[in-house]
Structures are given as structure tokens and as C-alpha cells.
Amino acid sequence: MKNSSKASRSRLTAARTGSYIVLAILCFLCLFFFYMLLINCTRNNFQIQQGFSFLPGKSFAINLNNLLNDANIPVLSGIKNSFIVSALSALLSVYFSAMTAYGIFAYDFKFRKAAFTIILLIMTMPTQISAVGFVNQMQAMGLRNSLIPLFLPSVASPVVFFFMKQYLDSNMPMEIVEAARIDGSGEFHTFNFIVLPIMKPAVAVQAIFTFVTAWNTYFIPGLLLDKANKKTLPILIAQLRSADFLKFDMAQIYMLITIAIIPIILVYLVLSKYIVRGVALGGVKG
């Protein structure tokens, strides 16, 4: 019995050690590219062309100054535009998607299943299919070079709606809604002050994902935005990357990418405690 117990403990220790090694390798692979980015934003263009170095350079302040003083790359307005689009996209998406999910969850109407099916079908439609028509419509409405077309469509977000609906099915007892109605609570009051607090983990998770997606989106902004003071950060990065070869400065590109990922990291740090909980509860139907 003792030998069997020792052998079992040895196998468990070996398995645990192997798991730690695999996790350490995966962690290194994930963080190495961030480390490479941070290192390269401290080196000048000539040093970057010589190859990668594990030691930081001394050109961080110079690269930042060159980037901020580049008249063709309005970094500060790009940060402002990206933040406006991302924040409003996240806010509108999670609120109205949660409201739509609550409507289909809490109300039994004739075309309930049909509405749910149509929304799921819309979710499968690629953005590229409707892009030309969308751009032409925005042009006709005089909304070209405006930020409105970049965040307003987030009101209808099928992917966020589906996640919210799954979360309600798993974690929202209908008895709570019925009790609120008996107590005289209005429908909007019930949704805003009873249902939304229960959905807080799901709202936080989808707010993170929507914010990051909107922050990194290039396709639609690239079709709609021509004016320099309206461009978002992904467009500025692409513009800097496609500059004339003789004026090509890799140091500025790495610096701009570093600036672009800082808000995303901050959002993850603030709301990260909700990610695992929200995904786990929203993805499993009880």
C-alpha cells in the first residue's frame, strides 16, 4: 500500500510539474512579443534594423517627441477619437443588447422564436458583405468623416445579444421579475435596477470585448474617415507604416503601437476579475 501511494504521489507530482512547464512556455510566448514591443520603442530606427536586442535602448524620449511632433500623424486626436468610438460602442452595445435579451427572455410574444432566429442569422453575416452599402448610405446622409457611424451601429450587436441571452437563461430566475411586477415596479425600472445588477459580470465581459474590438477596428473607419483630425489610431498606424521608404521610421511605429495598447491593458486590468466569471456563467446554460 505504501509503495502504491508513493507511486501515485510521484505521478501526480510529475504531471503537475509538466503542467507548470507547459504554462511557463505559453506565458513566455505570450509576453515575449510585448517585451519585444517595449524594447523596440526605446531604440532608434538604425538599431531596430540591426536586429532584436534584449536590452532597451536610450531613444524612448526621442521617439516619443518625434511621433508627437509629426504633423502628418495627429496622435492625440487619434487617441481621443479611438476612445470616443470605443467607449460609446461598449456602452451602447452592452446596454441595448442586454435590453433586447431581457425582452426576449422575459416576454412571451407570438414571434419570439422568430426574432431570436433572425438575430442569430444576422450574427453570421460578415461585415464585408454590407460594407459598400453602409458606406454609400453614410455618404448620402452626410456622415462621412464623422465618428457617429463608427459607434451608433453598436446599438444592434447580435453577438453581444446572444451572450446576454445565454447569461439570462443561466442566471436569471423569472420569479424575481414577476415579484418586481407584483410590487409595482415598472418595466424600465425592473430592467435598470434589478436585472442589470444581476448581469454585471456579463456586462463587464462584453464591455471589455466590445471596447477592444472597436479600438482595434480598421476596416470601416478606413472606408469612412479621410480627414486627419477624425482618424483613429489603427488608421494612423497603417498610415505611418505605409509612408515613403526613405522616411520610414520603425521606431515611431513601435512607439505608436505601444501607445495604442496602453488603454486596452488598463481596461483589462480594471475589469479582469469579471472575465472568467462572466464567460463561465454566460457560456453554460443551467
The string of pLDDT tens digits covering residues 183-232 is 888 888 889 988 998 888 888 888 888 999 999 988 889 889 988 889 99
**For residue 29, is pLDDT > 90?**
no
**Weakest-pLDDT range from 100-104, 120-124, 188-192:** 120-124
Contact between residue 141 and residue 223 where contact means Cβ atoms under 8 Å apart: no
Average pLDDT for the chain: 84
Distance CA 30, CA 264 (A): 16
Predicted confidence at residue 121, as pLDDT, reads 85
**For residue 255, is pLDDT > 80?**
yes
- Band (pLDDT 50/70/90 cuts) for residue 275 is low
Exposure of 97 by Cβ count < 10 A (0-12 exposed, 13-18 middle, 19+ buried)? buried
Q: Which residue has the cell 444581476?
A: 198
**For residue 284, is pLDDT > 50?**
no
- Strands, E assignment, 121-168: none
Predicted confidence at residue 283, as pLDDT, reads 44
Q: How far is CA 193 from the centre of its chain?
A: 26
> One-letter amino acid identity for 58?
K
Q: Which residue has the cell 446599438?
A: 155
Contact between residue 63 and residue 73 where contact means Cβ atoms under 8 Å apart: no
Predicted confidence at residue 28, as pLDDT, reads 87
Contact between residue 97 and residue 199 where contact means Cβ atoms under 8 Å apart: no
- Band (pLDDT 50/70/90 cuts) for residue 286 is very low
**For residue 62, is pLDDT > 50?**
yes
**For residue 278, is pLDDT > 70?**
no
